[in-house]
Structure 1
Amino acid sequence: MGFLKKLFQIVSGKKYRNCPSGPALDPVAQRALKAGLINSEQIMAYCDSYTTGLSNDALVEGLGSNWCIGSPQEAAETLESLGRYGHRFFYDIVFRVYSDGASGEGRQEVLDALVASGRYGSPETVRMQVAAQEPSEEKELVFSALESAMEMLENLRSVFRLLEDKVNGSYLPKDYSAGILAWDLGRLVTVARMSLDCKYIGQDELNRILAHVDGELGSHFSSWPQFAKSYIIGRASWAGQNMTLGGIIGIAEDLMTDEKSPWVLSPL
């Protein structure tokens, strides 16, 4: 089902799908599930349970096409990467480069930051491999990351100080500097739930992930509108301005204002 059709269903009133067999009762899980609400509303998943309620075809297609997940190992690797790095790893680098007013396109500054991060190995070793003529796995990883980061930098340039929603108003520079943790947390919740439904992970692992998400919520966010800003900036930096972004902002606005919304009923 396409995004616009799903969005039409949401606008038409098919919102906040509750699991017929009952919600997750653990308060930690319930708070963490709310971190995934923008994403779960987008894909028409249950809003209150460990299971998504999606068909097997939708689960396989969603994990396979969007996340390249088709096995327990791939699910574990993706979930670990989302929890540890996510898109915020690139965003923190490109926002710093953008804020520092890098000359030209900023490619060298981004490359230097990626190497210095240590994610791809010892910075000194990786710096030598990048400068060498010979190919290497580390060099390939760094340059692949560079392309992803440069795309995010261009998207950030295109949306900086232009984003807004009906509750928060126009987003200020301090909102962009706060980062995009919410974007990663929301997707982590959804991918973990879908992975549970596909039996790629077990309930204990999902519980661990939800507990992690709940801890991050408590440490970094004081309200759902604040969370929504971080999520929307993350989505915009990942894919830029397009019709889908407008739809996602609309979902977030609804979650912040609808009297039946789980966010409104259970403030952060």
Structure 2
Amino acid sequence: MKLASVTVDGVRRGALVNETRRSVSLLSATVDDIVRGAPVVVAGDLPLPEVRLESPLHRFNRDVLCTGWNYWDHFEESAGKREGQDPVSRPLRPTFFTKGPDTVIGPFDPIAYDPSLSQKWDYEAEIAMVIGRDGRSIPEEKALDHVFGFLVANDVSQRDLQRAHGGQWLKGKSLDATMPLGPWLTTVEDVDLTGMRVQCKVNGVLMQDASSAQMAFSFAQIIAELSEGMTLRAGDVVLTGTPSGVGQAREPQVFLGDGDVVVTRVSGLGELRNTVTLTDLGGR
């Protein structure tokens, strides 16, 4: 099942996506409510090209929960390139951080770009999980029972801000309107967990291309580690890390600028297509 969020006559609605028929069936509840247990009741059909897809989720319990350095090739390309610091050893457990929920935009919305705040805007294609059942200290073998579904994300980051605050990543990951999410939420039973292909293109050039099978820590391991002593709640969004090929690790480095088109694709989950757009975020 693929659940999307659309606005019809000024009202946000959940929708059931039929990719084969290129249509959506409008639902009586929002995706946020369905994730939290509301029934799926069909209330009418529309052709898919006639609706604008928004971020599937709009109501967040807290910051977006994120996993860093979860593909070893990305860890290797990044750990040795931290300015003024020595390379570090591979972590034995996942690295976690958060992003503000105001970062979230829809699958085709513009990515905000304000060069007065940062000169190093980078792309990070990722798979995101959505929690569908509350739990704390969840055993790894039961972790996927707590997942409602998966979607595509791009953890657009400001590398200079990311390094500017004592090694804390929050600020360089949390500028408003910079993280596309979508295009819909695919429920866990319809996802091939053995290896989804994760790709990112910038202006038509393939920059990232990997399989989720290359993750250092699996989806279940991430949930088990993250939930140790900490309650995960239905509706929580958990990013699972990006593979190698990010702009800061390239020679020469490649950073995003006004007008760049970023396409983020995960096999079985869909595609995001966003244009980097000059935006005043209040920079000086």
Of structures 1 and 2, the larger Rg is shown by 1
Same fold (TM over 0.5): no
Structure with the bigger percentage of helix = 1
Bin of the TM-score, shorter chain as denominator length: under 0.3
- TM-score (ref. length: structure 1): 0.24
Structure with the bigger percentage of strand = 2
- TM-score (ref. length: structure 2): 0.23
